[in-house]
A and B are shown apart, each in its own frame.
Chain A
């Protein structure tokens, strides 16, 4: 089975440029999450969607960050304009939420470097 698929795996961009990270969740999953991992702050939840609707975006650091989920099989995380402090690994994850709980599966991550 295909897992959570993220692209690009690695990106190096200049400060001020727009960055778009993409995610394809596991087919049939109804929840999607964007996490950011840094050495200083560990893993942080940025935003999550349930049935394509954003439920909690309180972790989005500032207005430069935006996330969309136009359909059940695709989501994007956009940073515009990017800054060096945005350098991190961004993980997308998905889960199937049921009455008995849920298990979250992670993609391989997008390694972002802003110079």
Chain B
């Protein structure tokens, strides 16, 4: 069985400040982990993925995530938030047979 827990349903940051979106996972084997972003009225766009290579994964738009097996975490970070980063972010774990298990999402708000 596998699951993901996004620890914050809503995060608000000021433009230019760091972003931290937290995700913990549970998996009975070495997982593949993803972060997807969904802007309002849009589909889900892949930000980055971890597949047991480097533990620090760099994605698009300046985002990165670090896989920490000891903490079962895969937190998403960005050094400096931009207004265009305001969206819903989903942490996702991939299990057997290509099935994805989604977290409940974190809504990121960026203020001036």
Contact = CB atoms under 8 A, between A and B. Distances in A.
Interface of A: 4, 31, 33, 42-43, 45, 48, 50, 55-56, 91, 93, 95, 97, 100-109, 111
A108 B43 contact: yes
A73 B94 CA distance: 24
Interface stretch (B14-22, B68-76, B99-107): B99-107
A106 B94 contact: no
A104 to B, nearest CB: 6
Interface residues of B, number: 20
By secondary structure, the A interface counts as: strand
A56 to B, nearest CB: 7
By secondary structure, the B interface counts as: strand
Given A101-B32, A106-B45, A108-B43, 12 more contacts: A48-B97, A48-B98, A50-B97, A91-B43, A97-B98, A102-B32, A102-B94, A102-B98, A103-B34, A103-B46, A103-B49, A104-B46
A104 B98 contact: yes
Interface in B63-107: 90, 94, 97-100, 102, 104-105
A105 B49 CA distance: 12
A56 B102 contact: no
Contacts of B42: 108-109
A97 B97 CA distance: 9
Contacts of A45: 99-100
Nearest to B36: A106
A3 B44 CA distance: 12
